[in-house]
Structure 1
């Protein structure tokens, strides 16, 4: 039996499928940057996929996410007769469960080693000596931050960092810069996606506060990057810019 033809609308899932089921992936978004050198049909963005192009690829399965992709696009794919698997990932345990579900749907009969390694890496994270507070911007102009019920927030919590806006009514609220500064967190966490914060772009807005630029792929992606995420995020958070 041949492997199913798969189109991925989520960068995290693209990497997971490409590494775990070689040859299954036939299409991915323009934002799917991993693994390096991925040679598949590009079908537009996560928020504006080219439905006609996806249908033309005749996939057996389209993998998507309830947050990253828009329901009207997914409905159009279903209306065209395609099978669409929609994931929901807001916690680390959800991520592991959804990855198992996606990879099984892609024809895998055995679990990939990287997934076992990722679970082991996170299980080995020691309890923090003390908990710290964090503000986590995800956009600038306007300033937006992590709010309630987010995957990235769950990862940070497991590393001992409670982000200030975890109880906000919105998942990604807009918060004025003066309010972010006034929160006086122990650290400002600056991922390099979706906004590309860096050592030169971001810390300038928070004078006097420790700022930690981190890899957005390791903070927000749920895929093979999860295996190395605990060590890399911990190293970045423990050596903030001042």
Structure 2
């Protein structure tokens, strides 16, 4: 089995669970550290010639991270393309198990059991903190409806104020974000690399939680420690 992954989360999951099957991954696939495979460009602009030169049996992708025309072109060229959809934590576990099985895993990896247990034993939030969750700046974009990161935060007691917006990642002017009167601003370090300076500059007077984008948006081995890491960052913002 020869696999090319176009999704950083899935790259990490496959690399640590089915060693040796990955032959290609995107330039953004940073985990596990030291991954030695051919790089095939970005998630939104993969290099088709490099992918096909690897003669993969399977290309793994995601309906949000990768573009449908690219996936159609790959299918037309011959490789099987497996497209995942991950918009909730439970869905992440189902899709991870499906991907690993197709990639040849002979048993469910221990990290997946640990991750599912970590999220299952989370207590039901007794109250919710309202938040805005920017994912980009220039222009400002935030989490909207039906997102994996939104579900992650909801399970940790954070309700983001654009959860019912018609768009999944709406562009919202900064003055409108401020006017929404959130109790908290959650700033991940990816896809835009927000830093500790961004919050006080853009949202003066509001508590800001700088969180790991990998723990907020990735659905792979990081899921096992994500509840603890994110909860600590959220608590720290209120100190």
TM class, shorter-length: over 0.9
Are positions 1:76 and 2:73 aligned together?
yes
Superimposed CA distance per residue, residues 56-81 of structure 1 (whole angstroms, 9 cap, x where no aligned partner): 10111100000000011101110111
Aligned twin of 1:231: 228
TM-score, normalised on structure 1?
Answer: 0.97
Aligned twin of 1:48: 45
Deviates more, 1:145-154 or 1:127-136: 127-136
Please state whether the residue corresponding to 1:138 is helix, strand or coil.
Answer: strand
Q: Contact conserved, 1:210 with 1:241, CA < 8 A, in 2?
A: yes
Tell me how far 1:124 sits from its aligned partner.
1.3
The structure 2 residue matched to 1:185, chosen from 182, 191, 214, is 182
Whole-angstrom distance in 2 between the partners of 1:86 and 1:223: 16
Q: Once superposed, which parts of structure 1, at least 4 consecutive aligned residues long, lie more than 6 Å away?
A: none
* Equivalent residue pairs, number: 239
Are positions 1:147 and 2:144 aligned together?
yes
Q: Contact conserved, 1:9 with 1:62, CA < 8 A, in 2?
A: yes
Whole-angstrom distance in 2 between the partners of 1:104 and 1:179: 45
Please state whether the residue corresponding to 1:12 is helix, strand or coil.
Answer: helix
RMSD: 1.0
Whole-angstrom distance in 1 between the partners of 2:27 and 2:128: 38
The structure 1 residue matched to 2:216, chosen from 219, 227, 230, is 219
Superimposed CA distance per residue, residues 8-64 of structure 1 (whole angstroms, 9 cap, x where no aligned partner): 000000000000000010000000000000000000000000111111101111000
Whole-angstrom distance in 2 between the partners of 1:241 and 1:190: 14
